[in-house]
Each structure stands twice: as C-alpha cells, then as structure tokens.
Amino acid sequence: MEYRIEKDTMGEMKVPADRYWAAQTQRSYQNFRIGDEVMPREITRAFGILKKAAALANYNLGKLPEEKKNAIAAACDEVISGSLNGHFPLVVWQTGSGTQSNMNANEVIANRGNEIAGKKLLHPNDDINKSQSSNDTFPTAMHIAAVVAIEDNLFPAMDTLIATLKRLEAENEGIVKSGRTHLQDAVPIAFSQEISGWRNMIEKTKAQLALALEGLKELALGGTAVGTGLNAPKGFAEEVAAQVSALTGKKFVTAENKYHALTSKDELVFAHGALKALACNLMKIANDVRWLASGPRDGLGEIFIPENEPGSSIMPGKVNPTQCESMTMVAVQVMANDVAVGVGASQGNFELNVFMPVIIYNFLQSVRLLADGIRSFESNCVTGIKANKEKMHHNLYNSLMLVTALNPYIGYENAAKTAKKAYKENISLKEACVELGFLTAEKFDEVFRPEEMAYPQK
C-alpha cells in the first residue's frame, strides 16, 4: 500500500495515498480498533448536509469566499450521495463527543474540495469547520440523521402496513370469532375489530413519533464549544438552520437554548421512547398473528398466513411463522437499544454529553430495523392473512363465555352455574341452561345470538 504524509498539531502521520482523510482521522483509526461498528452512514450523510449548510451560511454572512464555498459544496454533494463512504472508516467506539468523526468529515471534504479546485485551497479546521465545533456539529448531525431516517424510511413503511391492515379490516367485516383475554376464552369480537386494534397501534405510535420530531428538528449548530457561540458570526445559527432546511426539504430551526442542546439528549430519548412503543406494539401484533395461525391442527388455527419456507430440517411439511419471529426479535433489539440510549443520555457532564456516538448508533439501528422489519412483515406475512372462517365459527360456538349474553336474563350467578355445568358435563350451554331450569329452549334460542354480541350497540 502506498502512503502519503499528513500533518496536524501533533506531528506527522502516514495516511493511505488513495484516501481523502488526513492525520486526525488516521490517529483515531489506529487508536480505536474496537469492534466493527462503523459510524452509521446516516451520520456521514448528515455531516455532508451540515458542512454544506455551514459553508453556504458562512458565505452569505461574508465569512467565506465564493471559490471556497463552491469547492466545499461540491465535495459535500459527494458525501451526501454516499460516493465517499469508503473515506469514513471510524468506528462508533471513539471519543464520546464525536470529535474524530467531525474531523473525518472536515478532512475528507477539504482534500476532495482541493482536488476539485485543482489547488491547495481549503483547510479542514479554518474553512470546513469555520464557525463550528465538534460539540455542536455532532449533535446537529444526530438530529438531522434521526429526522431523515424516521420521515423518509420508517414512516413510509408504517404507512404501507396501516394501508394493508385497513384492507384486511374491510375484507373481514362481519366475521365474528371468539375473543380472548388472559389467554382464556372471552366474549365474541369481529375479526375486523381485532385488526382495527392492530391498525390503530401503528397509527398511534406514528403520531407519537411525529410529536417527537418537533424536538429533533431543533439544531445545536451555532453553539460551538460550550453553547456560547464563540467564533460563530451573529446570525450564523439561524442561517445554517435555514440552509439545512433547504437542503433536506424539512423544517429545521436553531435550538433556543444551546447550553441544553449540547449537553442534553432528551429529544432523542423521547423519540426513542416512541420507537420503543412501536416495537412493543409490533411485538403484540406479531404474537397475535402467530398465536392465531398456530397449528395447523393442534393450535388455534383461526387464520392462514403465507407459507414462505420449510420450517424444519427433520419434520417434513412443517411451516413456521418466521416473519412473526423476525419481527419480534427486532422488537427485542429496539427495547434493548432504548436502555443504551437512556443511559447514554444521562451522562451529560457540565457543558457536553460524551456518549453521543453510542446514542445515535443505537437510535439509528432501531429506526433501520423497525423500517426493514415492518416492510418484511407486511409484504411476506400480513398482506396474505386469510381468515379460517370455519375454525372461527367452531371456536366461537364452542366458547363457554357466550354465557355472558344470558346475564341480563338469568343473572351473573346463574350464568356462572350454567357455564360450569356445561364444562363439567361436556354439554352445550343450551342444554345446561335448560336442565338447570333457568330458561326454556325457545327463550334460550331467542336471546342467544353470538354474532350479535360483537356489535352490542347496533
């Protein structure tokens, strides 16, 4: 491998000749050989956005010449496109402020910008990092990456699942089945009603995430080192937020209190709480689906789900609810990530939080896993759910909890006696009720209508 010599304030470093990074990135690359979790590419892209926005803001405020602004913008466009991802090698397990990833971006943009300009034009600190500090750029990159990931990746996946569940509601309207509470038989419910509960879980958590986005759209940029804005020109914070908004098509604003923006990560904790809520709901939905599909002969068997892969290497013909299992594992990971995000956010000492890389790594992994998991679950399982009407009808009429319909006519205690007699003697509710003398056979038939129990208000 060929090398070139790069210098920083600590001296010279050998850097691979074909890489745009320089001495500070190389030091981090060599000093933190921990794991293989590279800084998320969403953060790399966010740095391209904020560095371009900063250059445009500095230019508009008379702090950066047009030639430098153009070279920086051109290099940033390549960072944003992902074509320079191979020049961002640093792992998550580095300085807790993300300083080295900020310098990685500064060095790559400077060297690529100089190549574009055809001369030594840009300096990583003096030009690319102008009016900035790692302490306000990294939290800004975190917020940009989080907002883009949620709005552009997770929300579309959620919307597709919501639409599929709405279709399933309409298709299964009027099909009544046995409800269940405590894993025990309960009163009837329409299958469409059960599906509507699943749908609303996704809708509710989307609304919670939308609320959390308000805080994530506040940017720390302009606070520089400790929140005072030292070395940033007046109006820079507002101008750079406007430029980020223009570049992303999303409405970002400067954080009202930069001291809070640098040291607190509560907006990310709040947003990840909504991600955890979504994970909890998806866990419930996936578990419902696999319980309802259990069998095919010795389980509930009330729905059919797509058969995607052989389920066993030893049992021929076995098919498992693999998409449900995948979705629930994603949910478990997101719940675990919430612990890391929360603990990391609690470590804001004085004017800076120094757990930012691990916070955003877990946050973005949660968004990515949820979006991918939902798409897979929807397209490979949910969209193909079919009601097993015969089994639903059998289970409905075999349920002892239909006795609840008799409460207004024979009272709670007599209804309980009826259910217990029917269960003990393995006879029907009608037979038990008539034998106990609570109702005549004719009156029982008149008041006992299981399907209507799912629609009591009609």
Tell me the torsion sign for CA atoms 265, 270, 273, 274: negative
- Percentage of residues of the chain with pLDDT beyond 90: 99
Q: Give the span between the Cα atoms of 148 and 44, in whole angstroms.
A: 13
Contact present, 246 and 153 (Cβ < 8 Å): no
pLDDT, tens digit (0-9, with 9 covering 90-100), for 5-41: 999 999 999 999 999 999 999 999 999 999 999 999 9
- What pTM was estimated for this model as a whole? 0.96
- Amino acid making up residue 335: M
| Options 245, 312, 393, 399, the catalytic residue | 312
- Burial (Cβ within 10 Å: 0-12, 13-18, ≥19) of residue 409: middle
Kind plus residue range of the DSSP H or E element containing 353: strand 352-353
pLDDT, tens digit (0-9, with 9 covering 90-100), for 160-186: 999 999 999 999 999 999 999 999 999
Q: Is the pLDDT of residue 458 over 90?
A: no
Q: What is the mean pLDDT of residues 240-248?
A: 98
pLDDT, tens digit (0-9, with 9 covering 90-100), for 48-82: 999 999 999 999 999 999 999 999 999 999 999 99
Q: What is the mean pLDDT of residues 285-302?
A: 97
- Percentage of residues of the chain with pLDDT beyond 70: 100
Q: Give the span between the Cα atoms of 318 and 241, in whole angstroms.
A: 56
Domains of the chain: 3-130 (1.10.275.10), 136-390 (1.20.200.10), 399-454 (1.10.40.30)
Rounded mean pLDDT of the chain? 97
pLDDT, tens digit (0-9, with 9 covering 90-100), for 442-455: 999 999 999 999 99
pLDDT, tens digit (0-9, with 9 covering 90-100), for 404-442: 999 999 999 999 999 999 999 999 999 999 999 999 999
If DSSP codes are grouped into helix, strand and coil, which group holds residue 180? strand
pLDDT, tens digit (0-9, with 9 covering 90-100), for 183-235: 999 999 999 999 999 999 999 999 999 999 999 999 999 999 999 999 999 99
- Amino acid making up residue 148: V
Contact present, 194 and 110 (Cβ < 8 Å): no
pLDDT at residue 200 in the model? 98
Query: What does the longest C-alpha to C-alpha distance in the chain come to?
Result: 101
The torsion region of residue 247 among left (phi > 0), alpha (psi -120 to 50) and beta comes to alpha
Tokens describing residue 11: 């001296």
**Where does the pLDDT of residue 357 fall: very low under 50, low under 70, confident under 90, or very high at 90 and above?**
very high
Contact present, 195 and 202 (Cβ < 8 Å): no
| Options 133, 182, 245, 294, the catalytic residue | 182
pLDDT at residue 348 in the model? 84
Q: Give the span between the Cα atoms of 114 and 358, in whole angstroms.
A: 32
pLDDT at residue 457 in the model? 81
Q: Is 312 a catalytic residue?
A: yes
Q: Give the span between the Cα atoms of 58 and 127, in whole angstroms.
A: 9
Contact present, 40 and 359 (Cβ < 8 Å): no
pLDDT at residue 405 in the model? 95
Radius of gyration of the chain (CA): 30
Q: Give the span between the Cα atoms of 83 and 358, in whole angstroms.
A: 25
Q: Is 182 a catalytic residue?
A: yes
